[in-house]
Amino acid sequence: MTKKTKEKERDPADYIVPLAIGGLEGRMLHVPAPENKQREILFVYGHHSSLERWWGLMQVLNEFGSVTMPDLPGFGGMDSFYKINQKPTIDNLADYLAAFLKWRYKRKRVTIAGMSFGFVVATRMLQRYPELTKKVEMLVSIAGFAHRDDFILPRKNYLFYLYSSRIVQHRLPAGIFKMIALNPLVLRAVYKHSNNEKFKGAKTDSKKFDELVKVEVRLWRINDVRTAMKTSADFLRLDNCRVPVDLPIYHIAIVGDRYFDNLKVEQHFRIIFNDFTVLAELDLVNHAPSVVATAEEAAPFVPPELRRLLDQL
């Protein structure tokens, strides 16, 4: 049996364990390092996530070391901050991530890779806990951002997302939204007629399309609606440029990213970090790997330039 065949047979469930921090319960995925690999990689996912959703990408990163990915409160089925009478602010998410990092990597240095909103949380953590920069071996942004001006959404779309998320973050509107808009039958009907880029290729393969829709529906149902809406409202008004971080950043940009202006992202990252390097500009149409991406399909998000850096340790 080849190594590639073994990789395909690995099940993410074999690497997921319970996680409890600060009165909140969730899960953590940890994949041990391959033989002769010493790097510790902490992956921070973004919106619309679960541990299983990123399994393909985790297998790719695992080629270079140990990979750990914790749930974030309110995401992936983890308890939300509302359970302990707190709000899911970016500051609170950053505090949670800092607590996790201190616990998990007590005497170790770590490579942090943040995906989209996950990099926002990682940045805020390092701003609020500057002493943690000494533990960071490498800081990697995959389609990350830093400021509300990074968005390239049409003005009317931006305002719609901002004000609707500010409304739906409250208990009653969130309950109604989940009951109606996030009803599985409604979601399946919407996806069936969607022209979204991520569904176009899958529609030619009914089995793959059904699998994609099934995972999408599950993600909408297990991610806390109020948390998703509160964090959306916050990042649509984001300004992470107020506190510098004494670390260099390695950034992977998506050329066809429908969300961000890559030039503005670079300008804002240069304000925050002491050095900035664009490792790669990926000629892709999607902001992130598909929710059902295999390791092979997720591989382009770990380009050769990043692979060379990760392989140095």
Instruction: Give the residue numbers spanning the domain of 80.
Output: 3-155+240-310
Q: Does residue 286 sit within a domain?
A: yes
Is residue 119 packed enough to be buried (19+ CB in 10 Å), middle (13-18) or exposed (0-12)?
buried
pLDDT at position 7 over 70: no
Q: Tell me the whole-structure pTM to 2 decimals.
A: 0.94
* DSSP secondary structure letter of residue 311: T
Degrees, nearest 5: CA angle 140-280-147: 55
What does the mean pLDDT of the chain come to?
93
Model confidence pLDDT, tens digit, residues 67-99: 999 999 999 999 999 999 999 999 999 999 999
The strand pair at 24-31 and 110-115 is best described as: unpaired
Measuring CA to CA, how many Å separate 30 from each of 13, 52, 309?
Answer: 10, 12, 21
How confident is the model over 9-20, as a mean pLDDT? 95
Q: Does residue 208 sit within a domain?
A: no
Alpha helices in 131-281 (DSSP H): 155-168, 171-180, 184-192, 197-200, 206-222, 225-235, 262-272
Q: Does residue 88 sit within a domain?
A: yes
pLDDT at position 2 over 60: no
* Joined tokens for residue 13: 């469930």
Is residue 6 packed enough to be buried (19+ CB in 10 Å), middle (13-18) or exposed (0-12)?
exposed
Question: What is the tally of structural domains in the chain?
Answer: 1
Q: Does residue 127 sit within a domain?
A: yes
**How many percent of the chain have pLDDT more than 90?**
86
How confident is the model over 16-24, as a mean pLDDT? 97
Q: Does residue 228 sit within a domain?
A: no
pLDDT at position 128 over 90: yes
pLDDT at position 21 over 70: yes
Q: Does residue 150 sit within a domain?
A: yes
Model confidence pLDDT, tens digit, residues 172-208: 999 999 999 999 999 988 888 777 666 665 655 678 8
Q: Does residue 176 sit within a domain?
A: no
CATH number of domain containing 13:
3.40.50.1820
Q: Does residue 101 sit within a domain?
A: yes
